[in-house]
């Protein structure tokens, strides 16, 4: 499944004028929508782990967290649930990004 998502991303890069950032946002948004509708879980059951790794899986995780927190906390859960569900992933990305910035030396692209 992960490979299929990558193929779709590459086709969007090659055949449209969308920037990679917009494509990434589209993948996360798609995951949120599919997760909110309950369809992404069926995709995970069909495709396996490959569906949980990419950006669509992150979007689905956000939606699942929001739905769960809304059941427990009501309306305020819509604002807290996604962050609670994805806290470990967000923290890891920030931490390892910081470590990478300390270890690597940035290079300015020549145009």
3-30 per-position pLDDT tens digit: 788 888 899 999 999 998 899 899 889 8
Please check the confidence at residue 2 and state whether its pLDDT lies above 70. no
Please check the confidence at residue 1 and state whether its pLDDT lies above 70. no
29-75 per-position pLDDT tens digit: 988 998 889 888 888 888 777 777 777 888 888 898 999 999 998 98
List the alpha helices (DSSP H) in the chain: 2-15, 20-37, 39-47, 55-73, 77-103
Query: The whole model's pTM is what?
Result: 0.71
* DSSP three-state, residue 90: helix
């Amino acid at each position: 499944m992960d490979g299929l998502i990558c193929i779709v991303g590459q086709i969007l890069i090659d055949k449209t004028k969308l920037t990679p950032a917009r494509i990434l946002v589209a993948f996360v948004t798609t995951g949120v929508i599919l997760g909110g509708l309950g369809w992404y879980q069926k995709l995970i059951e069909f495709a396996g782990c490959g569906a949980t790794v990419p950006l669509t899986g992150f979007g689905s995780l956000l939606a699942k967290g929001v739905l769960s927190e809304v059941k427990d906390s009501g309306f305020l859960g819509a604002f807290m649930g996604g962050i609670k569900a994805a806290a470990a992933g967000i923290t890891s990305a920030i931490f390892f990004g910081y470590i990478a910035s300390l270890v690597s030396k940035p290079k300015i692209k020549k145009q």
